Structure 1
Amino acid sequence: MKKASLFLIFLIHLSFCFAQKKNSKVASDNRLKSQLDSLVEQSASIFMKNNGRVGMSIGVIQNGTPYLYNYGSTRLDRPVLPTANTVYELASITKTFGAALLAQAVLEKKVTLNDDIRKYLKEDYPNLNYNGTPITLLNLVNLTSGLPNWMPEKDLFSKAHPDSIPFILDSVHSVYSRQNLYRDLHNVKLQVMPGSVSRHCNTAAQLLGYIMEEVYQDSFENLLKIYICRPLKMKNTLLLGPGKLPREMAKGYDGKGRQMPVINWEALRVAASIASTSSDMLKYMAFQLNEENPAVKLAHQPTFGKVEDGAIALNWKIKKTGTGKRSISHTGGSLGFSSYMVYYPELNSGIVLLSNQADPSTQTDLIALADKIIHP
């Protein structure tokens, strides 16, 4: 009887703690003074109260005016509210920076989108074609190259426990070099014709970065500074590398609260390793909203699929909203971070969401959150 009573007390206490956590106010710097503030608060609070959420920074441009909000914490071991200068991994949003460099190279007449990529590779790759159709630079940025998503192209996970997969990835890719990628590229056999099927491809994005280095005879890191970060005054945006983690960087976690490795792998840096802040990404979004810039306009031209159903431009997804406006977007997901950016040029508005948590539902929830805040 005594044991049963103790167990009942324990259950009541557990239920109280759960309810308290569920109903407690999430830490935030939202001043709740405007209609937008209230909308962000309502939507972000729902997102943050989902199990496993740690922190989030939100950047909004509404009719050309920027707004910034922060929620939760940069780490799990103690409460540290994010700021406009908290650094997050952008993951696959990194790919849009490579596309911006390609658009610039096209305008400078250094390359054309229809160039065979082998023109810029130092070794011979007769295998990089399908029945005589080569992979072009355009194929690298509209996801139609036919290249494998990951290099090395081998099954790493068939017998692995799901919890161990992030650490297997880190152990393999932290020692996989540029030279390894070029070596293994000789063994790739295309299964589809380039330009025929669109699918996510880290290898294509990484290869584009290497080609941009060859075209400009400079490192991708320097090109990022010269063509994007310095002109836009993005002072806290950088390419991650071993020993290059900024002091203001948030800790990234999976859905179980485990701190995850950072993606700073040499052979995937150009595809997934740019880190940035909400304040910097608002500057990047303002840059992308300005389609009077020829490079931006080129990067937004649909190159595969129909806009009505969702087309691909230069590493951007283009889609028509219910009101006929264009939405231009990209998602990002690393081992411990999730991100989403969507903007509407005709409305001069958009939103970027940066979260230091990654599980199977985080990106979907970020997209839903963005749709609640911005009503195109």
Structure 2
Amino acid sequence: MKKLILLITAIIILSCKSEIKTEPKPFDQLTSLMDNYAKESLNNGNINSIALAIYRDGKYYHNYYGAIDKGAQNLPNDSTHYEIASITKVFAGSLAAKAVLEKKIDLDDDIRIYLEGNYSNLEYENTPITIKNLLTHTIGLKQKTPKGLKNVMSKMNNGDYENSLIDYDINNLLSELKTVELNKKPGTFYNYNSVGPELVAYILQQAYNKPYKKLLEDFLNELDMNNTYLQENKTDNKPVINNYTSQGQLAYLGKNPLLGAAYGLVTTLPDLSKFMVFQLESTNPLIKESTRVLFEDDDSTLGYLWQDLGTAKEEGFFYSKTGTSSGVQSGLLLCPDSNYGQIIIINNNSEASSNDWGNLFNTVEKDLIKFPKINLKSILKSEFLKDIDQACVQFNSLNKDEKYFNTSLPSALNSLGYELLYSNRDASKAIEIFEYATQKYPKSFNLFDSLGEAYFSIGDNNKALVNYKTSLKLNPENVNAEKYISEISRIQSQK
């Protein structure tokens, strides 16, 4: 709280054009907000610990929050090892991009030229599976995981292989591939899977005549990622952070019995951050190649195993990858046009913890997009909750200097209300904020719409209806208000 007061005081002095020339340091303010957001997420009680890293315009920050095991005093640190689940895939994608640039492989290669034996089944209507299809999850298999591998994965999730070797490897997968069936034309239908990345690794082995593990290690060494390795099919794997399932139980180790391209990469936050910085600072051509769009449909845009590629109006080009396992939720987001990136890892996996992780991820990104302008609503949040009138006075005083702050008071109140409603799950406080905002800004259709949503969320349909109707009167084109008015009318007619 002392830091917050000092921060606000410094800004007020600046805005009043004091003779003191020291300006606030935006990146320090930003990192302070990151700490606050993470601690607020922990307060919901669904997440044990958080590892967070941000990068913006050449500046980097990372920190840890909570306890690995609830009730303990074991805060994660730079030596804590995380299994990052499907983020593993983008390392295989980077190696594939490198192989394309070095003309070791071609994206349109029929994968059967790298497989020994008869795989006449790996085509549909005379269209074969290509390397591009492996990289974009568009291989067209009727069952995305062959029966034997699916059985092994189920056993592993039940802990059957916790202290023993998994009796399945890449050769078993290759044998099973001779019996699989395609029911979609390759390259036309997205179906997320782990088979494609493992086959990419196998093809890279053939192309370079070198084990995939060695290819990966060489790449990691180039990035100085000395604390990153594969969680292989062993009984003596190095220690990884305790992870917790949706039932709050310790999750079993996610060993990879194949080549290690789909999941199983273990790293530290500083090491994974080196990969983030590499993506944003390096001129290595494999970055541009690996983030090139290879497949796009109504729901998905994919590069070399990257997901959610796109271009946004404000932040420009972005790409990302998330990783989810029985006890891990991780995410890596990069935006080279705006020169920012973020990593957030938690050691829980439940619906509630995933929602909190997602809210935190989105909140962090919003502030990174606006930087160097700072989120004044978040700086003054505690003041808003104590004395909303006084907080509004402070807000308007500080917000005169548009160089430093990124939002108007109506937008700030609206954002705070939604944060209370969905992130903090405090509907009564959210309604209090929205009510105050609609009184202060009686011509804002959006604020009345938000107040209607808050009342609807607690089942007070009468008050919800009143506010939605007010919103629609202020803006006859508010489709959302029309929808809810219709829905509430339908509900009330059934009583």
TM bucket normalised to smaller: 0.7 to 0.9
Distance in 1, Cα, partners of 2:169 & 2:299: 38
- Correspondence 1:316 to 2:306: yes
* 1:107–1:36 distance in 2 versus 1, CA, 3 Å: same
* 1:150–1:290 distance in 2 versus 1, CA, 3 Å: farther
Q: Residue in 2 aligned with 1:134?
A: 128
What is the 5 A alignment of 1:18-29? none
Q: Residue in 1 aligned with 2:384?
A: none
**TM-score of the two chains, using structure 2 as the length reference:** 0.63
**What amino acid is aligned across from residue 240 of structure 1 in structure 2?**
Q
Aligned residue pairs total 337
* 1:131–1:97 distance in 2 versus 1, CA, 3 Å: same
- What whole-Å deviation, never above 9, does each CA across 1:175-197 have from its counterpart, x for those lacking one? 32222211111111011000001
Of Structure 1 and Structure 2, the greater helix share is in 2
**What amino acid is aligned across from residue 350 of structure 1 in structure 2?**
G
| From 208, 214, 219, the counterpart of 1:216 | 208
What is the 5 A alignment of 1:155-304? 166-167=157-158, 174-227=166-219, 229-241=220-232, 242-247=234-239, 249-267=240-258, 269-290=260-281, 292-304=283-295
* 1:206–1:244 distance in 2 versus 1, CA, 3 Å: farther
Q: Residue in 1 aligned with 2:105?
A: 111
**What amino acid is aligned across from residue 134 of structure 2 in structure 1?**
L
Distance in 2, Cα, partners of 1:364 & 1:267: 31
**What amino acid is aligned across from residue 85 of structure 2 in structure 1?**
A
**What amino acid is aligned across from residue 96 of structure 2 in structure 1?**
L
* Structure 1 residue 155 displacement after superposition: 7.6
- Correspondence 1:47 to 2:6: no
Distance in 1, Cα, partners of 2:149 & 2:85: 22
Distance in 1, Cα, partners of 2:338 & 2:87: 22
Indicate if the aligned counterparts of 2:138 and 2:187 stay in contact, CA closer than 8 A: yes
What is the 5 A alignment of 1:349-360? 349-360=340-351
Secondary structure at 1:270 match in 2: coil
Indicate if the aligned counterparts of 1:48 and 1:54 stay in contact, CA closer than 8 A: yes
Secondary structure at 1:347 match in 2: coil
- What whole-Å deviation, never above 9, does each CA across 1:235-263 have from its counterpart, x for those lacking one? 1110112145334x211111222111111
* Structure 1 residue 350 displacement after superposition: 0.7
* 1:153–1:173 distance in 2 versus 1, CA, 3 Å: farther
Distance in 1, Cα, partners of 2:150 & 2:100: 37
* Structure 1 residue 76 displacement after superposition: 4.2
Tell me the percent identity.
29
| From 332, 344, 357, the counterpart of 1:366 | 357
Q: State the superposition RMSD in angstroms.
A: 2.7
Q: Residue in 1 aligned with 2:393?
A: none
* Structure 1 residue 327 displacement after superposition: 1.9
- Correspondence 1:149 to 2:144: yes
Indicate if the aligned counterparts of 1:143 and 1:200 stay in contact, CA closer than 8 A: yes
Q: Residue in 2 aligned with 1:59?
A: 53
Distance in 1, Cα, partners of 2:331 & 2:79: 17
**TM-score of the two chains, using structure 1 as the length reference:** 0.82
Indicate if the aligned counterparts of 1:150 and 1:203 stay in contact, CA closer than 8 A: yes
| From 92, 99, 105, the counterpart of 1:98 | 92
* 1:298–1:202 distance in 2 versus 1, CA, 3 Å: same
Deviates more, 1:212-221 or 1:99-108: 212-221
Distance in 1, Cα, partners of 2:139 & 2:100: 19
- What whole-Å deviation, never above 9, does each CA across 1:150-194 have from its counterpart, x for those lacking one? 23368869xx9xxx9931786899332222211111111011000
Gaps of 5+ in 1: 1-32
Distance in 1, Cα, partners of 2:134 & 2:268: 27
* 1:364–1:64 distance in 2 versus 1, CA, 3 Å: farther
Deviates more, 1:76-85 or 1:172-181: 172-181
